[in-house]
Amino acid sequence: MFTRQVANKLVIVLVYVDDLLITGSDTDMIEQLKCTLNSKFKRKYLDIGARGARPSPTPLEQNNNFFDALDTKCLKQNEEGMPGKVHMEATLRVVRYIKKNPWQGIWLDSSSTCGLIAFCDSDWSTCPISRKSVTRYYIKLGNSLISWKSKKQNTVARSSAEAEYRSMAMTTAKLIWLSGLLNELGVKRDHPAKLFCDSKTTL
């Protein structure tokens, strides 16, 4: 992420691999930055065309299951583009939600402790096609959220306990990596990392 602030004017550039998202409070500074990028690199600017869209009160519909769309695609081979359409509609809903709540963000608490706390869970055999489970976790440094993930597991779990165990293993690996990073940065932690799971069988 690159941030430039001049007086009360702010421009933020988010970079992911070869994709950039440019936003800010001053359109002139944004245009200057785009001209600078155009002089150095070959760029293509995309616009989703949602400026006149109606704001959404929530980022996603309740109980929305994207796997159902994939399952429908497999059953109806003559309907092309079904998963892409469903996912695009969900993406536009998130954009419309941000439009209504432009100041939403993740607040980092400077006065909290420096202990790592993780919470993990899994959905057993969520995908109706591959029967693979989905791991979800989020990790906090004190009261501040610093890492989160939702990812399909690599192998098929034969029980809900196995799915939960794999979820804990993935979260533990992330905790170890974050612990090493904090050590390199010289951050002293108050206590060892804590991992919470809702499966008594796995524990």
- The string of pLDDT tens digits covering residues 94-153 is 888 877 877 777 777 877 778 899 999 998 887 777 888 999 999 999 888 999 999 899
Q: Which two tokens stand for residue 103?
A: 């100041």
Q: What band does 32 get if pLDDT is binned at 50, 70 and 90?
A: confident
Angle separating helix axes 66-75 and 82-100, nearest 10 degrees: 160
Confidence category of residue 61, pLDDT binned at 50, 70, 90: confident
- Is the pLDDT score of 45 beyond 50? yes
Task: Identify each DSSP E strand in the chain by its residue range.
Answer: 2-6, 9-16, 19-24, 116-123, 134-141, 144-152, 194-197
- Put simply, whether the predicted model's pTM sits higher than 0.75 gets the answer no
At 203, is the pLDDT very low, low, confident or very high (cuts 50, 70, 90)?
A: confident
- pLDDT score of 194 more than 90: yes
Q: What is the pLDDT of residue 174?
A: 95
Taking CB atoms within 8 Å and a gap of at least 24, the contacts of 155-160 are: 156/125, 156/130, 156/131, 156/132, 157/122, 157/124, 157/125, 157/132, 157/133, 159/124, 160/122, 160/124, 160/199, 160/201
Q: What is the mean pLDDT of residues 21-41?
A: 82
